[in-house]
Amino acid sequence: MAVTDNSMKDYAIGVFDSGMGGLTAVQELNRILPNENIIYFGDTARIPYGSRSRETILRYASEDVAFLKQHKIKMIIAACGTVSSVAMDDPIVEDMPFTGVIAPAIEAACAATEKKRIGIIGTPATIKSGSYIRAAAETHPDIMIIPQACPLFVHLVENGYTDFGNPVTRLVAEEYLAPIKKEGVDVLILGCTHYPVISDIIGDIMGDGVKLISAGAEAAKSAKRCLTEHDLLSSRKEKGKNTYYVSDSTEMFEENARFFLHEDVHGDVFRSNF
């Protein structure tokens, strides 16, 4: 761990994802840490990561981290279930505070389940890694985790098939969620940061008795705890600012980002090719 000093308190929090999904973490960061500056990198030119090999995901993630480190940052959040899953065995950040989404989401889900039965949905790479199951086994071996890969969700979300009445997304979601529903879970982890954008459809299919946990939002809460522990919370009195970098079109990003942020993008958006 690098030595931290007081001047680092006002450095930004670095957040990255394969695309726009990580904005679900940014939304929560803005809510719970309004005075922090945030630097976001979305690798929109190379999304999706979730259907790629472990080696490729690790290479992309290392490049994303290296990009964030070119800026003055005090912490990194991998706001991507896929990257967080592969980084469980191969750490990608060792010289500053870091969190992925797996442990924070598992912690929240285990605290919320009464039936001790939790469903987890994610990208193929996330589910194949067994990351959530392994994380739960470490701390809560008595809790059953039921996994399900949802390969089409990221494409539907990135293409704007997100409204509650969308028949295509509903049909796909019904198909994916049926096996988990049958298992009688009372908590479902949205293990990919893209999924909260269609949480109303997912929630409607799962029913009122099932609590949904957003992995991105839980990572944001975990980041707040981590910065508090390291005495790295900003001393800034005014509102912090968000700066976004994407590896593809800034126009497309601004158009779609509001579905993740639930408001228009505030802050500069730049295109960057690493």
Where do contacts with ligand DGL occur on this chain (CB under 6 A)? 17-19, 21, 47-50, 80-82, 123, 126, 154, 192-194
Of 169, 145, 150, 170, nearest to 159 (Cα)? 169
Rounded Cα distance, 60 and 102, in Å: 19
**Residue least distant from ligand DGL (Cβ):** 50
Query: What is the nearest approach in angstroms of ligand DGL to the Cβ of residue 189?
Result: 11
Shortest spacing between CB 80 and ligand DGL, in angstroms: 4
Annotated catalytic, 110?
no
Amino acid at 217: A
CB of 18 to ligand DGL, least distance (A): 3
Query: Which distant-in-sequence residues (6+ apart) come within 8 Å of 225 by Cβ?
Result: none
Taking the complex as a whole, the smallest distance from the CB of residue 79 to ligand DGL amounts, in Å, to 7
Cβ contacts of residue 242 below 8 Å, gap of 6+?
26, 30, 37, 38, 40, 265, 266, 267
Strand order in the sheet with 268-271: 98-99, 73-78, 12-17, 38-42, 242-246, 268-271
First to last CA, the chain: 25
Element spanning 49, H or E: none
Q: For ligand DGL, give the closer residue by CB, 146 or 154.
A: 154
Q: Which is nearer to ligand DGL, 234 or 242 (CB)?
A: 242
Quickly list H helices, the chain: 23-32, 54-68, 81-86, 102-112, 124-129, 131-139, 153-158, 167-182, 199-206, 215-229, 250-261
- How, if at all, do strands 242-246 and 38-42 pair? parallel
By C-beta, is 126 or 169 nearer to ligand DGL?
126
Instruction: Name the residue nearer to ligand DGL (CB basis): 57 or 210.
Output: 57
Distance of closest approach, residue 43 Cβ to ligand DGL, in angstroms: 8
CB closer to ligand DGL, 126 vs 234: 126
- 80 is known as an active-site residue: yes
Provide the annotated active-site residues. Answer: 80, 192
